[in-house]
Amino acid sequence: MKIIVCVKQVPASTQVRLNRETGTIIREGVASMLNPYDSYALEEALRLKETLGGEVTTISMGIPSVADLLKATLALGADRAILLTDRKFAGADTLATAYALAKGINRLGTFDLIICGKQAIDGDTAQVGPSLAEKLGVPHLTNVQQIKEIDGQRIQCLRLTDAGYETVELQLPALITVVKDINLPRLPSIAGLRRALSQPVTLWTAADVDADPNHIGLQGSPTQVTSTFVPEHQRQSERFEGDASQQASQLVERLSSLGLLGPREGGLSNDQH
C-alpha cells in the first residue's frame, strides 16, 4: 500500500506569544515542531504499513529548514520525504498550498491513501486536506477517529461528527484527515535517528513539479488578511480576602451593588447574619 502523509511545521510552544502592536505571532526564540495532528497521521500510516506492507512518503511545503522536520519523519519510520521549497511558494494560503501539494503528489505517481492531520495548530483552518482531495479528484473524509477496515480497494472509517459518530466507506485512492484520538504517536528511537542519517530529503522546486506560477504563493492566494488582533478577555475576576464570613459579606455587598440580588430589605442583609 502506498501511503502519503502531508505534514506541516508549526511553532513548538504551547504558549504562543503575540506581539500586541502588530498582532503577529512572536516566532523569535521559539523552536518549531511537527504539527501534532500530523504526527497522528504519520503514526496511522506507519501502523498501516506495519500490518499491510508498502511504503510511507511524507510531504511538506515550506522553507529549506523544514527538511529537518522531514528528517524527523524518516527517523520515525517514513521511507521517503519530499520538501516542496521555492521562493515562489511563499505567502501561500490554503488554496495555493493544496495546489502545490497536489502537484507534488502528482509527480510522485500513484498512491492508495493520503492521510493528513485534521488541521494545523497554528492556522486552525482544516482546509488543506479537503482542498487537496478536490484538486486530486479523490474522495475524502475528515475527522477520522478509527480506520475500521482497509484493503486494496476501499477503506471504512469511524468519523467524528458534531452529533456523535458515523461509519463511512470510501473507494481508494482516497484522502482522510485524522483526529488525535486515533492513536498515540510513537517517539523516534536512536536506531531511527541513525537510519534517517543516510536517507536524504528530496527537494522539489515549483518548476520540478510543473506548478503554474499563477496558482502558487501569494499570487495564487485569494485569501486577504485585512487585520489580525488579540482577543480581549471579556470575563473579569475579583478576589475577596479575609475569612469565610468576611468574604461572604463582601460577596453579598458586591452582588447587591451590581443589582443582582434584588432589593436589600427583601433579600439577604447584614443584620440577618
Binding of another protein by 31 (CB under 8 A): yes
Single out the segment in contact with another protein by CB under 8 A; choices: 14-22, 151-159, 222-230, 260-268.
Answer: 14-22
Distance CA 83, CA 144 (A): 26
Interacting residue with another protein among 18, 158, 193, 248 (CB under 8 A):
193
Stretch that binds another protein, among 27-35, 46-54, 213-221, 263-271 (CB under 8 A): 27-35
CB closer to another protein out of 29 and 152: 29
How many residues sit close enough to another protein to count as binding (CB under 8 A)?
A: 26
CB of 129 to another protein, least distance (A): 21
CB contact at 8 A, 155 and 172: yes
- According to DSSP, the residues that pair with 84 across neighbouring strands are 61, 204
User: Per-residue x/- mask for another protein, residues 166 to 185, rule CB under 8 A?
Assistant: ------------------x-
State how far the Cα of 96 lies from the Cα of 84, in Å rounded to an integer: 12
The number of helix segments (H) and strand segments (E) in the chain equals: 6, 11
Looking up cell 501502523 gives 47
Q: Which is nearer to another protein, 191 or 260 (CB)?
A: 191
Residue 189 touches another protein, criterion: CB under 8 A: yes
Least gap, CB of 142 to another protein (angstroms):
23
Helix (H) or strand (E) holding 150: strand 140-150
Determine contact, residues 2/173, Cβ cutoff 8 Å: no
Nearest CA to 8 out of 92, 69, 64, 75 is that of 69
- Residue in 125, 188, 203, 253 binding another protein, rule: CB under 8 A: 188
Candidate list 4, 72, 92, 144; residue touching another protein; CB under 8 A: 72
Which range of residues in 48-56, 94-102, 151-159, 187-195 is near another protein by CB under 8 A? 187-195
CA angle 49-51-55, nearest 5°? 15
CA 29 distance to own-chain centroid: 21
Measured CA to CA, the distance from residue 138 to residue 132 in angstroms comes to: 9
Q: Tell me if 15 contacts another protein by CB under 8 A.
A: yes
Q: Measured between alpha carbons, how far is 237 from 41 in angstroms, rounded to an integer?
A: 40
Report the length, in residues, of the chain: 273
Residue of 130, 186, 252, 256 interacting with another protein (CB under 8 A): 186
For the window 198-237, what string marks contact with another protein as x by the rule CB under 8 A? ----------------------------------------
Which residues share a beta bridge with 25? Answer: 18
Q: Is residue 243 a contact point for another protein (CB under 8 A)?
A: yes
Residues that bind another protein (CB under 8 A): 12-15, 17, 29, 31, 33-34, 36, 68, 72, 75, 184, 186-194, 197, 243-244
